[in-house]
Amino acid sequence: MPQFVPDGPHLPPPDLFLFLIPVSLQCLLLHPIFPSTLSRLLRFALMPLSVAMSFATPYKYAIEPRNQAVGMNFIFGIMGAYGIMKSVEWGFATDLLPYTWVGFEGKSPAEEEKAAQEKGNAGGADNEPREKKVEKRRRTEEAQREYLAGLRRKQAAEDGPIDIIRSTMHLLIAMRGQGYDFGATTTQPFALEHGPFLRRLLLEIAWSHPLLVLCAAILLEPPTSRDAFVYAVLPSLNAKHAHTLGGCVTGLAMGTAVFAALTLGYSCCTLVTFVVTALVRLLPMPEALTLPRFDPREYPPLFNLSSPPDSVAKFWSVQWHASQLTPVRFTGPFRFLALNPTQRLFRPLVGKQLGRALGVLATFALSSWIHEFGLATSTSTLPPHSPPLPSLIKWGGSVYFMSQGVGIVLEGMYTALTRRKVGGYGGVLWSSLFVCLCGGMLYKSWMTQGLVREVPPVRYWTWPRFILPLGCLQPPPLWMNSYPTTYGYERTP
């Protein structure tokens, strides 16, 4: 049985970030200053090194001892998976126009066409012939490509060395693509002025932090303690029903904790970026050498839950965090590595609708791999389970993510058969039940494999765990009032 290490945990060395060197060089070569043929050749040549280093990094470097920091090391695994995806995307990319910075001020042909469509839809029924729509879309796409090509020519002619480095770093960290052609540029209804923007960030931190602490307190209690509490509150239940209800509550806490932790982490990082940018700009240095002015339009909320999800597709494509999906189209590597190639491969064989369905499933398969890679790297040094875990537990994460793709495909089939979109109160009930009930497989898999392994329950916490952002999930012995001999193995669903 594992023992706590009094002098741990030990942070990984700076070598953790070495994989960013070849990845950053690939990103640099996307700049229009480089001839397209040379850029493509060098990016492809760097790809094997980028992929190999991104793959090996989370296996080599982590918070030690690893058995006490599985959840935190899971993040390093996700970081390595993202490096692999970007390496492959940038290595094979031939069309560089989507990586053009378009900003938020100008009106591109695509944005003008979208605004015209919205104005026309607001005016009533659209009776324009299909052939005319197709021709108009083709002309808009051609105009958009020429517009992007003009921006890149201007950038190649005007950017100096410092501008090129700035541009590279900006694209490297722009996971959501705000302001780039490959991402979304919509900023409404989010606050754009610094004052309202800062208030929004502080409000997000104010509600997500206590919510995460509450969920962590539920998750970190062993089932025996949890069931005893449920039985004490509802003494009319028998032991079996109390255990079932306790499992449902803990499963819901798992999903809510992920939502709260992502919101809290993103909001805190955005706040730090806001403050650091403001402080650096106060330093007496030339404008060319300082950081650009902070633009809130690049940092919209991570989640859009202004209304309940009325379909599984809406939940994942509009409301969940936009590092994966955005309305209408998948962003970055998900579109490049999964959606588009799958559709191009299968559409001629199975038709447009089935080809798109397979593309959606491929996208969720890629998302499954990201999370499985993160879990595999964070548990790579732990002893194997004996007896081996059932397949549904071991691969429960993949089953969950693939089930969400199946849910979206089922909604597409419903629309094709009934000519009605999933929505309304029935859609809210369907999507809520489908997302949450399928989440039980994810919860059982991740908890059984040790995602919060040996993170201390509430009775061992000291005050910093309650008040520091994400402090409740930190590995021991930080901020503990005593050291138990062991726990964690009893934390199985």
Ordered DSSP codes for 191-214: --SHHHHHHHHHHHHHHHHHHHHH
Distance between CA atoms of residues 284 and 288, nearest Å: 12
| Separation of CA 446 from chain center | 17
In a domain, 159, yes or no: yes
Q: What is the pLDDT of residue 238?
A: 83
Distance between CA atoms of residues 318 and 175, nearest Å: 16
Q: Is 101 helix (H, G, I), strand (E, B) or coil?
A: strand
In a domain, 488, yes or no: no
> Is residue 303 within 8 Å of 285, Cβ to Cβ?
no
For the chain, which ranges sit under pLDDT 70?
Answer: 1-8, 106, 111, 113-128, 184-191, 321-332, 484-493
In a domain, 49, yes or no: yes
- Domain residue limits at 14: 1-119+127-181
> Is residue 258 within 8 Å of 447, Cβ to Cβ?
no
Q: What is the pLDDT of residue 191?
A: 61
Q: What is the pLDDT of residue 194?
A: 87
In a domain, 137, yes or no: yes
Q: What is the pLDDT of residue 261?
A: 94
Q: What is the pLDDT of residue 49?
A: 97
Q: Kindly report the CA angle at 453 between 449 and 458, in degrees rounded to 5?
A: 140
Q: What is the pLDDT of residue 114?
A: 67
pTM for this model (two decimals): 0.88
In a domain, 149, yes or no: yes
Q: What is the pLDDT of residue 365?
A: 95
Residue that is written with structure tokens 């307190």 in the block = 217
In a domain, 241, yes or no: no
In a domain, 361, yes or no: no
- Supply 417's token pair: 């058969």
In a domain, 110, yes or no: yes
> Is residue 164 within 8 Å of 28, Cβ to Cβ?
yes
Domain count, the chain: 1
